[in-house]
């Protein structure tokens, strides 16, 4: 989608959207390649023991055709919701492709979801069929009530009572399948909001959502695809970040992507995987990057071939940005978006479109502004809400069965994000925090990101999160939750040291007046800190 122009002004002037009336994600990311290069590698599935299984585009077309025709023969079709509850694997890709080619709606579900979260999404979306494994089947059986409308389940681990065997079911389907001719605006997938605040809502997206993502993938990965590009991300492919920033764009561009199931993110294993597989491109959320920072001298210990590192999902912070340049020799290109409207802001060091402490600028093709509550645009440096102007090909169709919530998401033609930010004179946007996360203390408006970034520079701090705590005198005080590095133990003296450290580097009104040490921070399945859980702490 992006022209090969290495000048930001010329690139913006030359860019234009080319969204056809009819478009199908499954045909685009699979059949288009399979018909001309069936042996081209698409997915490298790396097992825990290091063995690699390669799925070609020809493999994906054959198996997705069989799955689509088998599902269609059972009465599944246009508009039906089909759930996918699996870790990164070839089966995830072939399931998505089959569902899109059928004209049905894919519902990606994170393997880390608990019983309650899974039950809610299956029930709310009205899922008819679930594709999963033994772990997913076990969770289904723990539910007090079988979700309404769920007719049957396919398991990669074999039949089990009412559960059908995935492979046997797939092989019964025809190798020939004629994809439904979908319009670009026809529903293709539904991804639930991460639920950092409030109840998760199903964001429904049309097939055009993939085309809308492409410029936002290409810029942070510095004009992907380039020769020998190979991408890996630890982000679950059920998350918008893993699916739409990783799997589907890679399949579109013909860039192989690695599938690797980690039960728990391990920085040593992550470095080893990237070195062993000659990974050239990686998308790593900020929390995982901070864990990678715990490994000393990664370039000396691992033969890394990285060309690009992209990060998003929460604020990166200037400290982690600087670490990337020093420890890895690369600029971490940040990007920003939401489940409802993803990859609209970003940075690209290759064209000088980067500024430490700022997310980046609007990706070509997107109109992003910082606005006031009345919808007017803020002045340079004025704090406001980050918003995206419609129409936009990456923007959601609406919340599933929630027209009121959809309407509330907009101020005029701006889709609001609920994120506070400010814009500089050159268009760079700085993320300050969620609306609910901004702290009001003694008349000051304080964003948690700057404090967390400062805390991360203390020698004892491994991870941190900052929230406001109600206070009769100051309205709120700053409260910090901290996970310590190995070798440090919680104490009043250490808490005082950390408070003084921040007070001496920021200002007297920003330091954490209260510090709580934790073993772990509460995170969503996408690796974002759930601040509402911290705010509820006594």
Q: How confident is the model at residue 467 (pLDDT cuts 50, 70, 90)?
A: very high
- Alpha-carbon distance of 25 to 38, in angstroms, equals 18
In the chain, residues under CATH classification 3.40.50.12780 are: 24-206
Consecutive H or E run containing 84: strand 81-85
- Alpha-carbon distance of 209 to 486, in angstroms, equals 43
Residue with tokens 């995206």: 388
DSSP state of 244: I
Average pLDDT, stretch 344-361?
A: 96
DSSP, collapsed to helix, strand or coil, labels residue 474 as coil
How much of the chain, in percent, has pLDDT values that exceed 70? 97
Q: Which residues pair with 369 in a beta bridge?
A: 387
Residue with tokens 């023969």: 73
- Alpha-carbon distance of 137 to 231, in angstroms, equals 30
Residue with tokens 């994906």: 60
Contacts 24+ apart (CB under 8 A), 375-384: 375/411, 375/412, 375/414, 378/422, 378/423, 380/423, 380/424, 380/425, 381/422, 381/423, 381/424, 382/422, 383/420, 383/421, 383/422, 383/432, 383/445, 384/420, 384/421, 384/422
Question: Which of 26-35, 124-133, 457-466, 516-525 is predicted with the least confidence, judged by mean pLDDT?
Answer: 516-525
287: left (phi over 0), alpha (psi -120 to 50) or beta: alpha
What pTM did the predictor assign? Answer: 0.86
Q: Which fold has domain 24-206?
A: Rossmann fold (3.40.50)
Q: How confident is the model at residue 161 (pLDDT cuts 50, 70, 90)?
A: confident
Give the start-end residues of each E strand in 366-438. 368-371, 384-389, 398-399, 410-411, 414-423, 429-434
Residue 3, both tokens: 């022209």
Query: In this structure, which CATH number among 3.30.300.30, 3.30.470.20, 1.10.1670.10, 3.30.930.10 belongs to the domain 436-535?
Result: 3.30.300.30
pLDDT attached to residue 349: 97
pLDDT attached to residue 196: 47
pLDDT tens digits, residue range 239-252? Answer: 999 999 999 999 99
Question: Which of 104-113, 141-150, 158-167, 188-197 is predicted with the least confidence, judged by mean pLDDT?
Answer: 188-197
Kindly list the distances between the CA atom of residue 5 and the CA atoms of 280, 307, 368, in Å, as whole numbers in the listed order.
21, 18, 22
pLDDT attached to residue 433: 76
Q: How confident is the model at residue 442 (pLDDT cuts 50, 70, 90)?
A: low
pLDDT attached to residue 195: 53
DSSP, collapsed to helix, strand or coil, labels residue 356 as coil
Kindly list the distances between the CA atom of residue 268 and the CA atoms of 265, 297, 311, 327, 441, in Å, as whole numbers in the listed order.
9, 12, 19, 15, 40
Question: Which of 46-50, 307-311, 424-428, 526-530 is predicted with the least confidence, judged by mean pLDDT?
Answer: 526-530
In the chain, residues under CATH classification 3.30.300.30 are: 436-535
Average pLDDT, stretch 69-87?
A: 97
pLDDT attached to residue 510: 82
Give the start-end residues of each E strand in 299-390. 308-311, 332-336, 345-346, 361-362, 368-371, 384-389
Q: How confident is the model at residue 290 (pLDDT cuts 50, 70, 90)?
A: confident
User: What average pLDDT is seen over the chain?
Assistant: 93
- Alpha-carbon distance of 279 to 230, in angstroms, equals 5
Average pLDDT, stretch 119-148?
A: 94
Kindly list the distances between the CA atom of residue 365 and the CA atoms of 225, 334, 395, in Å, as whole numbers in the listed order.
19, 18, 12
């Amino acid at each position: 989608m992006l022209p090969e122009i290495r000048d930001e002004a010329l690139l913006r002037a030359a860019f234009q959207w080319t969204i056809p009336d009819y478009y199908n994600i499954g045909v685009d990311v699979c059949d288009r390649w399979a018909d001309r290069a069936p042996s081209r590698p698409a997915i490298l599935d790396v097992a825990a023991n290091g063995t690699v299984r390669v799925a070609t585009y020809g493999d994906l077309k054959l198996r997705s055709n069989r799955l689509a025709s088998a599902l269609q023969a059972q009465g599944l079709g246009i508009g039906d919701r089909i759930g996918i509850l699996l870790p990164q694997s070839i089966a995830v890709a072939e399931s998505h492709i089959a569902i899109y080619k059928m004209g049905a709606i894919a519902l990606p579900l994170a393997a880390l979801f608990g019983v309650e979260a899974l039950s809610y999404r299956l029930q709310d979306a009205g899922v008819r069929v679930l594709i999963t494994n033994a772990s997913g089947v076990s969770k289904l059986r723990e539910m007090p009530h079988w979700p309404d409308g769920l007719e049957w389940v396919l398991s990669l681990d074999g039949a089990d009572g009412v559960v059908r065997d995935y492979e046997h079911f797939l092989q019964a389907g025809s190798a020939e399948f004629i994809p439904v001719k979908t319009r670009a605006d026809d529903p293709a997938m539904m991804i639930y909001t991460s639920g950092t605040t409030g109840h998760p809502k199903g964001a429904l997206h049309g097939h055009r959502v993939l085309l809308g993502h492409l410029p936002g993938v290409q810029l942070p990965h510095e004009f992907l695809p380039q020769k020998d590009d190979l991408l890996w991300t630890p982000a679950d492919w059920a998350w918008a970040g893993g699916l739409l920033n990783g799997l589907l764009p890679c399949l579109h561009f013909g860039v192989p992507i690695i599938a690797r199931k980690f039960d728990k993110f391990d920085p040593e294993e992550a470095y080893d995987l990237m070195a062993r597989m000659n990974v050239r491109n990686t998308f790593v959320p900020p929390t995982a990057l901070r864990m990678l920072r715990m490994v000393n001298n990664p370039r000396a210990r691992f033969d890394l071939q990285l060309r690009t590192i992209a990060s998003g999902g929460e604020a990166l912070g200037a400290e982690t940005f600087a670490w990337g340049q020093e420890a890895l020799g690369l600029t971490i290109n940040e990007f920003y978006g939401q489940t409802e409207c993803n990859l609209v802001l970003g940075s690209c060091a290759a064209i000088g479109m980067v500024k430490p402490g700022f997310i980046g600028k609007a990706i070509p093709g997107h109109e992003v502004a910082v606005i006031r509550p009345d919808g007017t645009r803020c002045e340079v440096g004025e704090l406001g809400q980050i918003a995206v102007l419609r129409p936009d090909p990456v923007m959601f169709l609406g919340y599933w069965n929630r027209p009121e919530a959809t309407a509330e998401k907009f101020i005029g033609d701006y889709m609001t994000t609920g994120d506070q930010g400010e814009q500089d004179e050159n268009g760079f946007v700085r993320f300050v925090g969620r609306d609910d996360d901004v702290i009001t203390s003694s008349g000051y408006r304080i964003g948690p990101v700057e404090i967390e970034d400062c805390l991360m520079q203390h020698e004892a701090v491994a991870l941190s999160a900052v929230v406001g705590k109600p206070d009769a005198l100051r309205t709120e005080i700053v409260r910090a939750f901290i996970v310590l590095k190995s070798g440090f133990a919680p104490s009043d003296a250490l808490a005082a040291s950390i408070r003084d450290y921040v007070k001496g580097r920021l200002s007297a009104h920003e330091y954490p007046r209260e510090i709580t040490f934790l073993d772990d921070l509460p995170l969503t399945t996408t690796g974002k800190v759930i601040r509402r859980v911290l705010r509820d702490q006594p």
